[in-house]
Structure 1
């Protein structure tokens, strides 16, 4: 997993991010260095407000304004135009958020099919992939249910399947079980980690929960804008 010579999935070099608030400069990230290698599951630990979501937005190429360098699968994001950055994000990255953001008028399979269609996957192949992922997460009997017909844990399982649908090299997850009770959180996280490992993806998972972080391969801590 950490063999020398293996190209990292993501490299952050001196990443910085600052905001102006009420005329005061706030340095959220102050020079973050991080390498995540293929197949590695890394917990990004820190309290609320520490900048975890900002760091994930940077890695996910979701907004600008960052200093330093972001390299995704060997490609420098800073040297890429907006179209190339979109291709990088679509080809290499998957996302799972604290709130599932499922499309309410589509069933579980359709929610997992849609990102695959955007990426150019034929519909039949996309539907097979969706059913396989959802079944791996224990939802084989809920495939045609819409989000409103699913429990919170089931909704988040669909979101996990959607995040992995396009076989991303790296899954970015921001408090992916933070909206669930403890027992459901434990189950969903276990299924999430097992699926990520089974797919051979890497993951960077933001959490404030030490107990959940301990289940991952490596823990990095964000403190005062730097990783420890």
Structure 2
């Protein structure tokens, strides 16, 4: 997993991010260095407000204003234009959030099909992929149910399937089970990690839960804007 010759899926060098608030400068990230290799599942640990979401936004190329270097699958993100960053996101990254953000008017299968259609995958192939993932997550009997007809744990499983639909090199997850009770969170996280490992994707998973973090391959801690 950490063989010296293997190129990282993502590499951050001296990553910084600052905000102005009330006339004061707040340094959220103060020189973050991180490399994640193919197939590696990394827990990003830190208390609320430590900058975990800001770091994920940087890796996910979701907003600007960052200093330093961001390399995604060998491509320099900070030197790419808006279109190139969109292509990098679509071809290499998958996203899972604390709140599922499923489209309410579409059923479970359709929610997992849609990002594949955006990536120009043929519909029949996209539907087969969506069904494969949802069945693997124990939702084979819920394919035609809309989000409002699903439990919280089921909704988050659909979100997991959607995040993996395009076979990303790297999955970014921001407190993916933070909105679930402990027992459901354990089950969903276990299924998520098993599926990610089976797919061969890497993952960076932000959490403030030490117990859940220990289930992953490596733990990095965000403290005062740098990784420990």
Under TM normalisation by the shorter chain, which class is it? over 0.9
Matched, 1:86 2:86: yes
Q: Which residue of 2 aligns with 1:66?
A: 66
Matched, 1:142 2:142: yes
Q: CA deviation at 1:79?
A: 1.1
User: Would you identify which runs of 4 or more consecutive aligned residues in structure 1 move more than 2 Å?
Assistant: none
After superposition, where does 1:1-228 map in structure 2 within 5 Å?
1-228=1-228
Q: Give, in whole Å, the separation in 1 of the partners of 2:38 and 2:63.
A: 24
CA RMSD for the aligned pairs? 0.3
Q: Give, in whole Å, the separation in 1 of the partners of 2:128 and 2:45.
A: 35
Q: Give, in whole Å, the separation in 2 of the partners of 1:79 and 1:189.
A: 35
Q: Give, in whole Å, the separation in 2 of the partners of 1:53 and 1:221.
A: 13
SS in 2 for 1:106: coil
| Structure 2 segments unaligned to the other structure (5+ residues) | none
Q: CA deviation at 1:43?
A: 0.0
Q: TM-score, structure 1 length as denominator?
A: 1.00
Q: Deviations over 1:83-126 (max 9, x none)?
A: 00100010000000000000000000000000000000000000
Point out the more displaced range, 76-85 or 31-40.
76-85
Q: Give, in whole Å, the separation in 2 of the partners of 1:47 and 1:194.
A: 26
| Structure 1 segments unaligned to the other structure (5+ residues) | none
SS in 2 for 1:188: helix
